Structure 1
């Protein structure tokens, strides 16, 4: 109901803007007019920007929006009977029946009082109590509520509770539908910060929505084999002065703070908004690996302790020049600091040729990221006819200093000490031009151009002496076109995106020849959507798209990312892009208790990029964890999800998914020996999030998840499961919410693995999964929503004739 009302209000606003700016016929004595004033029924205050829509025989005739004083005038009406509707977000729609005759051309409705819709108002709170999942044609939209916020301090921690999404607890690598080749966007824009890092830096309380776009249209960048995850930060647009404050503490081995506040002032032609989030706390990981490498059998234990502090701020302004022209600006600022220490303890079974070691380390990291976005949108006279120009600049400056000490395990005597200083400076500029034209009532054309310029410079100093430098520059020039058509119950959209991809890389290392890499690729990425709605309660969607995964800076950077006494992690500059042809079929059924969506997908993957482990040829006593292109592979999957209300007091979000994939490629099967291998792997995941309404203000949550065993050519990852419980209680007349959450009740979460190539090994890592969260959210201000129509790329709505 909330989504339907939102669409109706947005549609009414668009009609009103067109009507107000249509060519005004010269008023004559035979033209009818309707005047009046709209007020709040409870406070008697005038309401501005209310949609006033005039209909005749259920067809739209004319319309306006109310002025700052709540008044309106509608002119140029013929003599006939009309229905006047007053529509406003958060209020019940009011209708008035009138008749304009030759004897009575001027109708004064005087004062129209409309009252708040208590049910709808629940949907406009800054932070709702319960997360909801909305299934759209090509995506799931998770509206983040207090139950998800309280499950973790950062975006990384709450992502594991989102359907179809998984986050590796050790590397923070994110995957969608079992695949880590996914594009992560912030407010619809790519970030210069790596996804695994940005997820740790975004406080959960700053997140408004999470969108999972599994088969994007040609309008969107084709990067990400498994699709797009778009994290939308809070932005309030209520009239007047409004805001919310959210504070929480997570108790694990040590307490962690998660706080955020949102402020908004909307008056006249301006809307100012801002939010700030703080995440601070100490985190630790523990691990053990038993290696059975011949003649080097050992037990390795790991200890990592990190104190992280992140600040995230978003500030923006919307300027309504008039009903047809809007300027918008916002900036995201991220400040992240971390201090860590730990140790790797290597105990060899035989000490005849191997020396037992302990490698303590200390590291500090300072990261600053910034994004600036400016947008201009022009609405033409025809409804839905728009032109939009947007420019986005992002920069990330990351500095890390690490000190490693190698000691003999027996007597702790010093072997050596060395330092690594790494600086990474990344810059990104994106310019978009989008044009939308509804050619007829059932046909829509969309055109667009995009320019992307990205540069990255990575420097490594070893013991304060220059060691190596890696620069990575790429330019992407692209254009797209989509055409949509609606035939009664059928809808179709087809489009294509053409991109020229130009990349240049240079690796310079002391004592070695420069390594250069260049590539220039021209590609076309088609997409198509077919939608069939046989009835209001049934919907079928079939889609196809071609995607690409271009190697990221971390995947191609040959400079060592991190190191232990036995393992180095580094990129592979020889990686080439992988391409994917993705097919997907979904069916949504609306029932009395909610909606259920089931779907199947198939992917054909070319030159798949995968993690590999192999022996360091320069130091046979160490392994290298890197990336490689494997052969062409196939993946299949099935998903079922539901947003259900079993009783008035019990609702649940449920999701189940299973994937089957065939992986093949050349790997190191024994130290120094390589062979072509192929395996079939199946993964299964299930989640359920229950909400129990005990009283009007008191609710309880019960969450459970299971992630099945996963397999790659070299690694087998054990299954994981957990259960969380939580409660929330409304106070202060519904403006405040106290919540508590107990995560991983049975302390069952751990990351365990085994492998037998290039040698047998097994291990597991544990982190602070069992925690208790206590939080308080307070909302203030009495203004009503008047959200502007932002860029369709940001809202990630597929656009076409017939609403595809």
Structure 2
């Protein structure tokens, strides 16, 4: 009841101010909004010049913002005309703009600029946009410039981004943390973060937003921050689209996007299918200790990974009138991840030195069917920036997972088999109400409410073929069914404004969590409580500050508080077999992680270069680590525990420049000092290390239609709570050729050119020591062919960009 009262009090405080009337327009203001005359898409960076009507003297000017809006303050009484110009468009002039006593605000309304066909035919923009754009609160990865990742997934794109690291299995870390939130077009995914990124083809992505310190408007879930995947859509009138097909040594695939827009209605239909296969090798050495006895286990053999994914998505948007817009999106998909290994094992001990040899054939399968639907309604009021947006989305997934191990003796006779299973549906509903209100010259108030309801059922089991004859029998001790429900209600408010060159945004978010996990059925014994509940209110303040320095420089700083809640399987109190040699057990007493993050950023731009530095300090409270220990002889257990705190002090840096017209270089890197402190079961987990990585991306323009890109990355040794991962280096190449008036583009991609991308590491505890090594066969070669029809282009192609490198960004 206390939590309900708090939420109602917050609603009482926030909503009256949010729904109040906007402030009266300030004196001496000329304003308006500029859009494309055909698509009605807002135009950014349009030059706005204010002239005195009688003399033609230039008085002042500005440029439009990303939403096409401009506002020119501090103008004296008089008669003026406004001239609007933008490359590729006809110049427009608005006459009879007048400011008089009692009416010191003039709004020219929404004005559409027409494309200048002749200018477009005569002018060819050959400059390149930066691979990454830096904004005050996020990094925007321009996917069309990542040639070496065009046939891969979102994971392959993020390999090229500062603050991101990717291991050989495609697991992504953000500033050293694997806990971050993935959004797809602003909507959370039901999958684990890295798993979601592996399912999205790079060729279907417009750009990726990386938000390391989100404001209170965003969900605070995730230690590292938020990755928002923006999928491709188009705003041009008529019918247009793009088709990609690819094939090579790691598989084949393709995707398409068709758009149709007529008047106030726009429709799109998109689909993709990809078959990816990787072959490799692994070996492992393990020691486990039991009193005076030491048991040894080693294996080596081959690995095979196969990933299939397919999606169909579509939707429409309806501009009901100038103030109201409705948008619907639907998506249905299927994915499958198969892993196969054939490993030769040897076991022995210090007591019995004769090794026991056998072979293990493992077949793992993870598959799921997914469906999502979302609707967005946007209402704009008469004042620019004054709007109300309502969004509702529902995502569901029915997943199945199995892992079968069959053991054979040295003579090839089957000894036994084990098959572990884990199935269950997941459903997630999210609703948002967001209200935005301009205040004064530069002020903006945003308030909103969010509800998130997540439910899932998880069934786990273990079947054993003890005689090796193919007859599997269920082991009731490892048959369990759990249900999980998590309801989160959130209220937020932010206020942003400018004081001269100083900008600020203050925010506060309150969340009420109602969580229940219940063991419905179990054959396990002595597992304690079968139901765990949490009712809690959390507060998340955020502060963002910026200051514009002379000569195209900007300094920014921010503080946020975030949370990482345990997933449902983190809390299951019973033992679950993941394969014949590994088990896991959850912890119903696990506490969420709370994260305090401070960030300072500096940005400097030149005509043909820019440099960016981001320094950060992050403290994680109730640090969760998956602790490994010996479950049985040569069987390892993983369980999540709160081990203490960790600290990260780091720096991300990027330097992009054009040494020559034909050469673009992007050099980036990250370095951070990491320390974890804590105890578990009397064992000190405290350790620290300095880690770093570097990336160099070179793009060479052979001519107007031909480019070569070379990308090299290096990751230093990285520590974990129970060990470390060794350093690695990798190099990718791509050759890009545009043909047939740039309607067809071919990209020949070679990943891991020198076959150096090998991953190895050590894990150790009081009762074990383990060294493992994985590698995949390389290099991997893929050819991708893209066909664009009816002038399909990026919304920013043929338009100058803010980074000074132009905007020739066609897909």
Superposition TM-score, scaled by structure 1 size: 0.82
Greater mean alpha carbon deviation, residues 320-329 or residues 186-195: 186-195
SS at match of 1:237: coil
Aligned residue in 1 for 2:16: none
CA deviation map 1:465-519 (0-9, x unaligned): 5711122110100000111121110111101000011111113421436622111
Aligned residue in 1 for 2:9: none
Return the offset for 1:763: 2.0
Preserved CA contact (<8 Å) 2:724 2:761? yes
Structure 1 segment 240-389 matched on structure 2, within 5 A = 240-251=238-249, 255-294=250-289, 295-350=294-349, 355-389=356-390
CA deviation map 1:421-453 (0-9, x unaligned): 321210000000000000112211110000100
CA–CA separation in structure 2 for the residues paired with 1:151 and 1:561: 38
Return the offset for 1:598: 0.6
SS at match of 1:382: coil
CA–CA separation in structure 2 for the residues paired with 1:39 and 1:385: 21
Question: Are 1:523 and 2:538 an aligned pair?
Answer: yes
Question: Are 1:602 and 2:617 an aligned pair?
Answer: yes
Out of 779, 782, 801, the position equivalent to 1:770 is: 779
CA deviation map 1:80-130 (0-9, x unaligned): 45234366xx733514475799xxxxxxx9x9872376599999x9xx998
CA deviation map 1:2-60 (0-9, x unaligned): xxxxxxxxxxxxxxxxxxxxxxxxxxxxxxxxxxxx999xxxxx887798989555679
Return the offset for 1:157: 3.2
CA–CA separation in structure 2 for the residues paired with 1:442 and 1:676: 52
Root-mean-square deviation over aligned CA pairs = 3.2
Return the offset for 1:339: 4.0
Q: 1:644 to 1:112 in 2, by over 3 A?
A: closer
Return the offset for 1:647: 1.5
Preserved CA contact (<8 Å) 2:492 2:510? yes
Q: 1:745 to 1:306 in 2, by over 3 A?
A: closer
Q: 1:769 to 1:384 in 2, by over 3 A?
A: farther
Return the offset for 1:646: 2.1
CA–CA separation in structure 1 for the residues paired with 2:321 and 2:140: 31
Greater mean alpha carbon deviation, residues 135-144 or residues 396-405: 396-405
SS at match of 1:384: coil
Return the offset for 1:247: 1.2
Aligned residue in 2 for 1:237: 235
Q: 1:48 to 1:622 in 2, by over 3 A?
A: closer
CA–CA separation in structure 2 for the residues paired with 1:564 and 1:725: 37
Aligned residue in 2 for 1:189: 187
Return the offset for 1:177: 1.1
CA–CA separation in structure 2 for the residues paired with 1:345 and 1:191: 38
Aligned residue in 1 for 2:692: 684
Q: 1:370 to 1:49 in 2, by over 3 A?
A: closer
Aligned residue in 1 for 2:513: 501
Gaps of 5+ in 1: 1-37, 41-45, 64-77, 102-108, 669-673, 788-804
Gaps of 5+ in 2: 1-34, 53-58, 65-76, 99-110, 464-472, 797-811
Superposition TM-score, scaled by structure 2 size: 0.81
CA–CA separation in structure 2 for the residues paired with 1:276 and 1:132: 26
CA deviation map 1:368-426 (0-9, x unaligned): 11111100000000110000100010001111343332333x22333322333321210
Structure 1 segment 132-147 matched on structure 2, within 5 A = 132-145=131-144, 147=146
Q: 1:353 to 1:499 in 2, by over 3 A?
A: farther
Q: 1:756 to 1:150 in 2, by over 3 A?
A: closer
Preserved CA contact (<8 Å) 1:129 1:147? no
Aligned residue in 2 for 1:675: 683
Aligned residue in 2 for 1:26: none
SS at match of 1:205: helix
Return the offset for 1:573: 3.3
SS at match of 1:632: strand
Structure 1 segment 381-460 matched on structure 2, within 5 A = 381-408=382-409, 410-460=410-460
CA–CA separation in structure 1 for the residues paired with 2:788 and 2:188: 31
Structure 1 segment 362-761 matched on structure 2, within 5 A = 362-408=363-409, 410-463=410-463, 465=474, 467-507=479-519, 508-512=521-525, 515-535=530-550, 537-557=552-572, 563-616=578-631, 619-667=632-680, 674-758=682-766, 759-761=768-770
CA–CA separation in structure 1 for the residues paired with 2:606 and 2:550: 12
Aligned residue in 2 for 1:92: 89
Preserved CA contact (<8 Å) 2:239 2:258? yes
Preserved CA contact (<8 Å) 2:405 2:580? no
CA deviation map 1:260-293 (0-9, x unaligned): 1111111111010122111113223421111233
User: In the comparison of the two structures, how many residue pairs are matched?
Assistant: 706
Return the offset for 1:776: 0.9
CA–CA separation in structure 1 for the residues paired with 2:153 and 2:523: 39
Q: 1:349 to 1:49 in 2, by over 3 A?
A: closer
CA deviation map 1:323-356 (0-9, x unaligned): 1000001022221134443234320244569744
Structure 1 segment 116-265 matched on structure 2, within 5 A = 132-145=131-144, 147-148=146-147, 150=149, 152-170=151-169, 172-251=170-249, 255-265=250-260
SS at match of 2:707: strand
CA–CA separation in structure 1 for the residues paired with 2:755 and 2:794: 42
Q: 1:614 to 1:129 in 2, by over 3 A?
A: farther
CA–CA separation in structure 2 for the residues paired with 1:439 and 1:605: 36
Preserved CA contact (<8 Å) 1:726 1:739? yes
Structure 1 segment 7-18 matched on structure 2, within 5 A = none
CA–CA separation in structure 2 for the residues paired with 1:555 and 1:267: 50
Q: 1:589 to 1:48 in 2, by over 3 A?
A: closer
CA–CA separation in structure 1 for the residues paired with 2:437 and 2:233: 28
CA deviation map 1:698-731 (0-9, x unaligned): 1110111001110123111100101112111110
SS at match of 2:248: strand
CA deviation map 1:205-255 (0-9, x unaligned): 11211111010000001111111111122122221111111111132xxx4
CA deviation map 1:671-704 (0-9, x unaligned): xxx5123111211011111111111111110111
CA–CA separation in structure 1 for the residues paired with 2:41 and 2:186: 27
Q: 1:511 to 1:745 in 2, by over 3 A?
A: closer
SS at match of 2:686: strand
CA–CA separation in structure 2 for the residues paired with 1:82 and 1:511: 81
Aligned residue in 1 for 2:116: 114
CA deviation map 1:592-636 (0-9, x unaligned): 3221111211112101112321122xx344111232212122210
Preserved CA contact (<8 Å) 2:454 2:486? yes
Q: 1:213 to 1:562 in 2, by over 3 A?
A: farther
